[in-house]
Amino acid sequence: MQKRKAVLIILDGVGDRANPQLDYKTPLQYAKTPNLDRIAKKSVVGLMDSIAPGIRAGSDTSHLNILGYDPYKVYTGRGPFEAAGLDMDLEPGDIAFRCNFATVDENLVVVDRRAGRIKEGTEELLKDIDGMVIEDVKIFVKPGVEHRAALVLRGPGLSPEVSDVDPHDTGLKIHESKPLSEEAEKTARILNEFVKRAHEILKNHPVNKEREKEGKKPANIILPRGAGMVPHLEKFEKKTGLKGACVVGTPLIRGICKLAGITPIHVPGATGGYDTDMIAKMDAVLEALKNYDFILVNIKATDIAGHDMEPRKKVEVVERIDEAIGHLYENLPDDVILIVTADHSTPCTVGDHSGDPVPIMIYAPDSRREGEEFNEISVLRGSLRIRASDLMNIVMNHTNRAEKFGA
Amino acid sequence: MQKRKAVLIILDGVGDRANPQLDYKTPLQYAKTPNLDRIAKKSVVGLMDSIAPGIRAGSDTSHLNILGYDPYKVYTGRGPFEAAGLDMDLEPGDIAFRCNFATVDENLVVVDRRAGRIKEGTEELLKDIDGMVIEDVKIFVKPGVEHRAALVLRGPGLSPEVSDVDPHDTGLKIHESKPLSEEAEKTARILNEFVKRAHEILKNHPVNKEREKEGKKPANIILPRGAGMVPHLEKFEKKTGLKGACVVGTPLIRGICKLAGITPIHVPGATGGYDTDMIAKMDAVLEALKNYDFILVNIKATDIAGHDMEPRKKVEVVERIDEAIGHLYENLPDDVILIVTADHSTPCTVGDHSGDPVPIMIYAPDSRREGEEFNEISVLRGSLRIRASDLMNIVMNHTNRAEKFGA
């Protein structure tokens, strides 16, 4: 029994609904996808619920579920995964937040939630803030791309059950973080104190004085949101025996992989946007297969087209993906199985994630040949009606690595 | 509403994958099965997971699940079912093992795991061993076919969580059984003492002296493996109202049936091997239907072909099965439903059990007519996507015996 490797391609948000601009077909139905279709003919196919029927999943909860981590147990908010995606050192129990640098006036009313999309100087701005201690809690802050940052609180008696400081709109005063449970009072108190002290440091910071001189908006406050507790995730390799890598552009998914011990591989030209170099991503997968047993690939552009409510753009992206997956398939070693699916649907008629199930196909040299075309309707001829939480068991089966239960 | 009877035919390991020697069809797809196909046309059809999607089941855990006993609750190892298959009297809480008579040298290194496939004298060899008492534990041993035997420990404070004495290969010293939990220390101690005492008796036994004179390997040790605790299984008839019988060659499945109170019927010519007389098995089913409401049939030859990685042999076996099931179907009384399925897949490309789901069809005089052919792909047109744990409820429904939930 030959043990195989696996490539799992997540077409982020590719699942869709009947679109009036596409003769009431879905983008996957409408697009010309000769490569996806020829693989489907040699694959086990069907539909997958990201969580359960009708449940609208985030990209974070669905990726966790796909990788075999129950999001109802390990997910309390987005913060920890964003922080891990910025390569912050995290410990289980830490409370982490996503943050924006923003601009407030003297009454703490938000003038710009992105501080004029500040591009430079954020590291310097944080120099006297990172490492701050309030009561017995140590605080870490790290800048991300542009106005983005992540914040980590480490200490005893903390809780993720606090409301956002970020009011999520301009013209509003920043919110005071409120404890959502009794155990969270300390956390809210420290978070509010942190925001206040950081504001005191930032508003007089030379970087901001310089920005104001240049007519730019000062990054004079940090607005935390999306609190979550860093979970203990059993390492993916320990759980499955598969040494994992990922080719993933977005920090959120990258962070999930990092916390699971799946090694991110940097691909020049992979942007996480429409302009991402998909062929370069597939070449990186083929290279990674030399050293890893399991490669997770996330392509974000399909989700962006869904959020942008652009069905024709989504068709175009799908056709580019088809070409890239064709390239991968042509060069796939014999001992590798290929899974293509999505983390959730992002219908162009909705402009956001939906709870519609997603198509899935699993190709192995000896997989049952169930499919015809790869789209939400054609896969109905196949055997799969699964939840994402089943997927890793099925991957273990098709890589001939599953342990036998019984004799 | 006429209450019906049911025949459940388990084609052991018949599920398979696309095989390159069969134009990438499965053996069931490739074989000519006019009888299975004509029954499928009058049946509810679909796929069944032995346990859950992707989970690789043993024949024991899957048969338990099929019969409505949760293997996660009642299965701790294979021993009890093997012992029951040898008609040993068992009590819930007994710890049972499969054993081999084997040959060891003076350093307890295994020379032959099967003691020269000893055929005679095993009963005499065990005469002074069966009934042995160590501390407060009573020990029972019973010979099986050739070198096989089963061992039962009965007493207070025992646990199935002990490692095997059998080193599973020649050239290795026998293992000392180790407790895998604190509660198992006594069991391991008694098991090791038993093996030692039995060895002392066997090495000087007249049967072995005689074997050595004849140039045969002495059966001078008993090697236990596969510890399990005898579970309490609610009797099948009490659970379902169905008086059950089984036509089953392999001791393991026979043992499961016995513990469930399903009566084994001996069929001359039914060997559990390739050469089994399938028509004789079907005649035994037709005869048994006079006295029983539910007949479980297991045909092992399909599983053997899968383990042997012989797709053409599997096709040949399937075609012989088709003929036998045709014979059964022609003679089936009007008040009997017929279910054909498998306990698990044993793909010829794998050579062992896999977690791929198995085809299933349920024929009753009035069942919905969903099918076309009986194989892994054609049944996808049908309604069933079930787990084996659902099957008995569906059998109760189609035999018009299910209790109504509500009014």
Q: Is 0.90 topped by the overall pTM?
A: yes
3-state secondary structure of B22: helix
Other Cβ atoms less than 10 A from the Cβ of B294: the count is 25
A256 & A341 share domain:
yes
Classify residue A404: in a domain, yes or no: no
Classify residue A147: in a domain, yes or no: yes
Residue B303, domain CATH = 3.40.720.10
Instruction: Give chain A's end-to-end CA distance (angstroms, integer).
Output: 17
A157 & A109 share domain:
yes
Strands (E) located in B260-306 = 263-264, 294-299
B236 & B354 share domain:
yes
DSSP state of B345: B
Q: Does the beta carbon of B53 lie under 8 angstroms from any beta carbon of chain A?
A: yes
The tally of domains found in chain A comes to: 2
A243 & A267 share domain:
yes
* Cα gap A393→B167, rounded to integer Å: 30
Classify residue B27: in a domain, yes or no: yes
- Give me the mean pLDDT over the B133-138 stretch: 98
Structure confidence by residue, pLDDT tens digits, B177-222 = 999 999 999 999 999 999 999 999 999 999 999 999 999 999 999 9
Minimum CA–CA partner of A395 in chain B: B54
pLDDT of B91 over the 90 cut: yes
* Cα gap B289→B8, rounded to integer Å: 12
Best of B56, B76, B168 to mutate (most A CBs within 10 Å, chain A) = B56
* Cα gap B130→B140, rounded to integer Å: 5
Query: What confidence tier does B301 reach under pLDDT thresholds 50, 70, 90?
Result: very high
Among the candidates A181, A199, A229, a domain finishes at: A229
Please report the sign of the dihedral spanned by the C-alpha atoms of residue A77, residue A266, residue A248, residue A276: positive
Tell me the pLDDT of chain A (407 aa) as tens digits. Answer: 789 999 999 999 999 999 999 999 999 999 999 999 999 999 999 999 999 999 999 999 999 999 999 999 999 999 999 999 999 999 999 999 999 999 999 999 999 999 999 999 999 999 999 999 999 999 999 999 999 999 999 999 999 999 999 999 999 999 999 999 999 999 999 999 999 999 999 999 999 999 999 999 999 999 999 999 999 999 999 999 999 999 999 999 999 999 999 999 999 988 888 999 999 999 999 999 999 999 999 999 999 999 999 999 999 999 999 999 999 999 999 999 999 999 999 999 999 999 999 999 999 999 999 999 999 999 999 999 999 999 999 999 999 999 999 99
Strand partners, B5: B336
Q: Does the beta carbon of A381 lie under 8 angstroms from any beta carbon of chain B?
A: yes
* Cα gap A17→A375, rounded to integer Å: 11
Other Cβ atoms less than 10 A from the Cβ of B329: the count is 18
A320 & A177 share domain:
no
* Cα gap B81→B349, rounded to integer Å: 29
Tokens of B254: 């026979």
Question: If contacts are CB pairs under 8 Å, which of residues 155-194 in chain B contact chain A?
Answer: none
* Cα gap A28→A11, rounded to integer Å: 11
Q: Does the beta carbon of A368 lie under 8 angstroms from any beta carbon of chain B?
A: yes
Classify residue B319: in a domain, yes or no: yes
- Supply the pLDDT for residue A2: 86
* Cα gap B97→B231, rounded to integer Å: 14
B32 & B96 share domain:
no
Domain that holds residue B336: 5-75+232-398
Residue among A366, A382, A402 whose CB faces B380 most closely? A382
Chain A partners within 8 Å of B375 (Cβ) = none
Q: Does the beta carbon of B24 lie under 8 angstroms from any beta carbon of chain A?
A: yes
A117 & A223 share domain:
yes
pLDDT of B137 over the 90 cut: yes
Torsion, Cα of B159, B162, B166, B167 (10° steps)? 170
Compute and round to an integer the Cα radius of gyration of chain B.
23
Residues B47, B94 contacting (CB under 8 angstroms):
no
Contact call for B19 and A366, based on CB within 8 A: yes
Residues B295, B339 contacting (CB under 8 angstroms):
no
Among the candidates B229, B254, B278, a domain finishes at: B229
B23 & B118 share domain:
no
Other Cβ atoms less than 10 A from the Cβ of A55: the count is 13
Which of B37, B10, B9, B41 has the alpha carbon at shortest distance from B286? B9
Classify residue A353: in a domain, yes or no: yes
